[in-house]
Amino acid sequence: MTCKVGIPRALLYYKYFPMWRAFLEKLGAEIVVSENTNQKLISQGASLVVSDTCLPVKVFIGHVLSLSDKCDKLLIPVVRSTAEKVYNCSRFLALPDLAKAVVPGVPPILEIEFDYSRGTGYLYRQIYSLGKNFTLNPFKIKEAAEYAWETHRRYHDITVQHHLTRIEAIDLLHNDKMLEIKESKNDGLTIGIAGHPYVLHDEQVSHNLIKRLRADGITVLTPEMAPEAPDSNGNGHTQFAGLAKNYWESEEDVVGAGDYYTRIKVDGIIGIMAFACGPDSMMMNLVQRQARSANIPFMSLTVEEHTAEAGVVTRLEAFLDMIHRAKRRNEQCV
Amino acid sequence: MRITFPHIGNAYIAVKAMLDPLGVDYVVPPKCNKRTLSLATKYSPEGVCIPFKLNLGNMIEAVELGADHILNVTGHGTCRMGYYFKVQEQILRDMGYDVTMMLTGLSEHKLRGFLNLLRSVSNNAPWTKIISSFAFGIAKMTALDDIEIMANNMRAIEKVKGTATPIYRKGLQAIDDAADYRSLKEVVKECGEKLSEIEIIPDYKPLKILVVGEIYVVLDPFANMDVELELGKLGVITNRSLYLSRWVKKGLFFNPLGIDQWRDVHKAAMPYLKRDIGGDGWETVGEKVISSGHYDGMVHLAPFTCMPEGTAQCIMPSTREDLPVLAIYCDEQTSKAGMLTRLEAFTDMILMKKTGCLSR
């Protein structure tokens, strides 16, 4: 009997899901992904943790809860660092322990810790200890890991090349066919969105922000579409340019993207952040200051479980009207 | 060049002792007050934690007094603290203040980084002078913690409430004024004698409560609304997991030698939290586990939206070791009356649990 491995559709899912799926399927596991986020799931998750936990973690706990009776094991990787002295947010490091502590009846958790700072030997041991749950043959695990890495690179490449969102790229990889992105009337506005993939691409959490913008004929840029700018050593691994050392691994989505948008002079930037997000509370402020100094309109959108859709829509409309009006006025002046 | 540094509890007394002998031109920001807080809230990002805000408030008030160089610590890790300086510098620049941050990475450079920082502000004074002034600062830090521990113990059992606190405050001032080791020793001795002479309630067995949490709010009485003082007034002896002098001594001297003062705490936390999550989250969970049975209760202090402490708070109820925990979030909205009510209810509850009745 194949082992059913559950993967919550939250947090790191958006960044690493193709990699995890490739690895586990190669080892003969069956993957169960939780349903799309919905309001019930959010409120169930929120009821299990203390109230000042950030929204993405509440959503994550909701997903874990919905998976708890559908799978034999649950995959919750811990990504501590992916570059020298750049760590991930504190909340990510405690996810398996948090799930174990607060979710009643949680299935056994498969953990793997990625920690670049501890060297490759540690990484290999971690991969092996994860693979050991499915096969004892180290060569098979190595093969699966290499395949997974290759899939991850491909996932990354097609996202940048075709200007796809994470969700579209995951679908594309899964179905092996090109999605048809509806190109409606394009009135030439480009809006960059700075924010984490788990906020931005979760349609329930972001209230369909991307779809709404696209329906208005706006070209939407999301952080994953930004090409990697070379860092000072010439390694193409950081999107931070001009702004300090990178501090949090997951903040490239915010500061790196904000930096990219200001460099290519988009018409407006929307910063979407979750309430009580620790890193964002500081980083979004930096992006805002940067946008202000470059004279680019910036809207900060904070979402939480009580955010009303109507409120988001009104603010979005007002923001777009403002940009349109400014653009028209500039054209008349010229 | 005029130096300043943000406050954390009474540490400014120790920092002053380090800077004075080196002849540095410095300004101590006014102690945290309402104005600091409102300035801080006005210019900080709204979702950021209280240590950031109060630090920024201190910096603004010090810059108004003519400071242009700010001593600060940084680090790398998962908590926001390591990135404070960058955002604070940006905010101060946008406010039109031209300041320079003088930084040392606590986690990577340890003692050497701190001494180098002292050297750079002192216009390259000789190393002997730097080391002796640093040692004197540490001695003052230790003295501060000594009299605080004594005062906390007496406050719970004194017969006339409010006797110990003025003696403690006078002691703080005297430590600040002490110019050499001998007068410092005398001051501590004198303060200790005065405290031990206080008339106590006979046959009174006070409750023991451990105060844990994020370092800044645990150490700073303004941020935590004098939680230890208030608990003392309720007749409770408090102890802390963190005292600045111990933290500095162990962090700067012993950790580089491979001695980890938290090893037992981390080991205790292992079944519930397997890795360091930054800040003091791992320690908080461990403290709960090992304090069970030794203390009657625990007060968990955390800044609002603190990532590691929030996680710790979610995990703590699931530990097998039982210990009543009261979580208090500190931010600019926290009201003293609300906190007092909660402290009273909490002490009443653990007293009832312990004795079966409310009378003392």
Chain A nearest-CA distance from B308, in A, is: 6
Provide the total of helices (H) and of strands (E) in chain A, helices listed first. 14, 11
What number does CATH give the domain A184-333?
Answer: 3.40.50.11900
Contacts within 8 Å (CB) and 24+ apart, A136-142: A140/A27, A141/A27
Residues of B in contact with A78 (CB under 8 A): 275
Chain A nearest-CA distance from B211, in A, is: 20
Is B319 in a helix, a strand, or coil?
A: coil
Q: Sheet holding B325-330: strands in order across?
A: B236-240, B207-213, B297-303, B325-330
Chain A nearest-CA distance from B177, in A, is: 39
Mutate to test the interface with B, among A53, A87, A89, A93 (most CBs of B within 10 A): A93
Angle in degrees, CA B259, A119, A142, rounded to 5:
135
> Which residue in the set A88, A97, A276 is minimally distant from B47, CB to CB?
A276
C-alpha to C-alpha distance for B77 and B277, rounded to whole angstroms? 9
Tens-digit pLDDT profile for residues A111-166: 888 888 888 888 889 999 998 888 888 899 999 999 999 999 888 888 877 777 88
Q: Is A79 on the interface with B (CB under 8 A)?
A: no
**pLDDT for the residue A236:** 37
Q: What are the CA-CA distances from residue B279 to residues A72, A89, A210, B284 (Å)?
A: 34, 11, 35, 10
Whether residue A284 is predicted with pLDDT greater than 50 in this model: the reply is yes
| Lowest mean per-residue pLDDT among A78-87, A188-197, B18-27, B303-312 | A78-87
Q: Is A209 on the interface with B (CB under 8 A)?
A: no
C-alpha to C-alpha distance for B244 and B145, rounded to whole angstroms? 8
Q: CB of B342 within 8 A of CB of B349?
A: no
- Which residues contact residue B215 at a Cβ distance below 8 angstroms, ignoring those fewer than 6 apart? B8, B242, B247, B280
Mutate to test the interface with A, among B277, B289, B315, B316 (most CBs of A within 10 A): B277
Tell me the pairing of strands B325-330 and A4-7.
Answer: unpaired
Residues of A in contact with B48 (CB under 8 A): 281-282, 285
Q: Is A123 on the interface with B (CB under 8 A)?
A: no
Could you give the dihedral angle defined by the CA atoms of residues B216, B217, B219 and B225, in that order, rounded to the nearest 10 degrees?
Answer: 150
> Which residue in the set B48, B76, B277 is minimally distant from A93, CB to CB?
B277
CB within 8 Å: B278 and A286: no
Q: CB of B235 within 8 A of CB of B206?
A: yes
DSSP-assigned letter for residue A74? E
Residues of B in contact with A98 (CB under 8 A): 311, 314-315
Name the nearest CA neighbour of A115 among A71, A77, A151: A77
ipTM of this predicted structure: 0.89
Q: Is A277 on the interface with B (CB under 8 A)?
A: yes
Average pLDDT on A236-260 reads: 63
**pLDDT for the residue B228:** 92
CB within 8 Å: A289 and B94: yes
Q: Is A213 on the interface with B (CB under 8 A)?
A: no
Name the nearest CA neighbour of B321 among B298, B294, B284, B290: B290
CB within 8 Å: A87 and B77: yes
Chain B nearest-CA distance from A27, in A, is: 27
Is B66 in a helix, a strand, or coil?
A: coil
**pLDDT for the residue A179:** 53
Name the nearest CA neighbour of A258 among A232, A212, A293, A231: A293
C-alpha to C-alpha distance for A26 and A127, rounded to whole angstroms? 14
Residues of B in contact with A244 (CB under 8 A): 86
**pLDDT for the residue B154:** 92
CB within 8 Å: A281 and B272: no
Name the nearest CA neighbour of B299 among B360, B247, B340, B269: B340
Angle in degrees, CA A139, A144, A145, rounded to 5:
95
Tens-digit pLDDT profile for residues B133-156: 999 999 999 999 999 999 999 999
CB within 8 Å: B94 and A52: no
In chain B, which residue's Cα lies nearest the Cα of A275? B47
Percentage helix, strand, coil for chain B under 3-state DSSP, each rounded to 5: 55, 10, 30
AA letter at B204: Y
Compute the radius of gyration of chain A from its Cα atoms: 20
**pLDDT for the residue B343:** 95
Question: Which ranges constitute the DSSP H helices of A73-208?
Answer: 90-93, 95-102, 119-131, 138-161, 166-175, 197-200, 203-206
> Which residue in the set A89, A101, A276 is minimally distant from B272, CB to CB?
A101
Q: Is A279 on the interface with B (CB under 8 A)?
A: yes
**pLDDT for the residue A334:** 66
**pLDDT for the residue A237:** 37
Q: Is B159 on the interface with A (CB under 8 A)?
A: no
Per-residue pLDDT of chain B (360 residues; tens, 9 = 90+): 899 999 998 999 999 999 998 988 999 999 999 999 999 999 999 889 999 999 999 999 999 999 999 998 887 777 888 888 888 988 999 999 999 988 887 777 778 888 888 888 888 889 999 999 999 999 999 999 999 999 999 999 999 988 999 999 999 999 999 989 999 999 999 999 999 999 998 888 899 999 999 989 999 999 999 999 999 999 999 999 888 888 888 877 777 676 777 888 889 999 999 888 888 888 999 999 999 889 999 999 999 888 899 999 999 999 888 899 999 998 888 889 999 999 999 999 999 988 877 655
The count of C-alpha atoms lying within 13 angstroms of the C-alpha of A52, restricted to the half-sphere facing its C-beta, is: 21
**pLDDT for the residue A249:** 74
Which CATH architecture is the domain B3-126 placed in?
Answer: 3-Layer(aba) Sandwich (3.40)
C-alpha to C-alpha distance for A318 and A316, rounded to whole angstroms? 5
**Domain layout of chain A by residue ranges:** 4-161, 184-333
Q: At what angle do helices B164-177 and B127-157 cross, to 10 degrees?
A: 170
Residues of A in contact with B86 (CB under 8 A): 244, 247, 286
User: In terms of pLDDT, which residue wins out, A24 or B250?
Assistant: A24
DSSP code per residue over A90-105 = HHHHTHHHHHHHHSTT
In chain B, which residue's Cα lies nearest the Cα of A80? B78
CB within 8 Å: B80 and A282: yes
- Which residues contact residue B126 at a Cβ distance below 8 angstroms, ignoring those fewer than 6 apart? none
Mutate to test the interface with A, among B78, B94, B285 (most CBs of A within 10 A): B78
B42: its two tokens: 């006005």
Could you give the dihedral angle defined by the CA atoms of residues A142, A148, A152 and A154, in that order, rounded to the nearest 10 degrees?
Answer: 100
Q: Is A91 on the interface with B (CB under 8 A)?
A: yes
- pTM: predicted TM-score of the whole model, two decimal places: 0.90
Name the nearest CA neighbour of A275 among A51, A89, A96: A51
**pLDDT for the residue A239:** 40
Residues of B in contact with A302 (CB under 8 A): 47
CB within 8 Å: B87 and A101: no
Average pLDDT on A295-306 reads: 90
Q: How confident is the model at residue A231 (pLDDT cuts 50, 70, 90)?
A: very low
**pLDDT for the residue A228:** 63
> Which residue in the set A86, A94, A302 is minimally distant from B277, CB to CB?
A94
**pLDDT for the residue A242:** 40
Residues of B in contact with A54 (CB under 8 A): 305, 307
Whether residue A280 is predicted with pLDDT greater than 90 in this model: the reply is no
User: Which stretches does DSSP call E strand in chain A?
Assistant: 4-7, 30-33, 73-75, 78-83, 86-87, 109-110, 113-115, 190-194, 219-221, 268-274, 298-303
Residues of A in contact with B311 (CB under 8 A): 53, 90-91, 94, 98
**Domain layout of chain B by residue ranges:** 3-126
Q: What are the CA-CA distances from residue A170 to residues A159, A165, A174, A303 (Å)?
A: 9, 9, 6, 24
CB within 8 Å: A275 and B47: yes
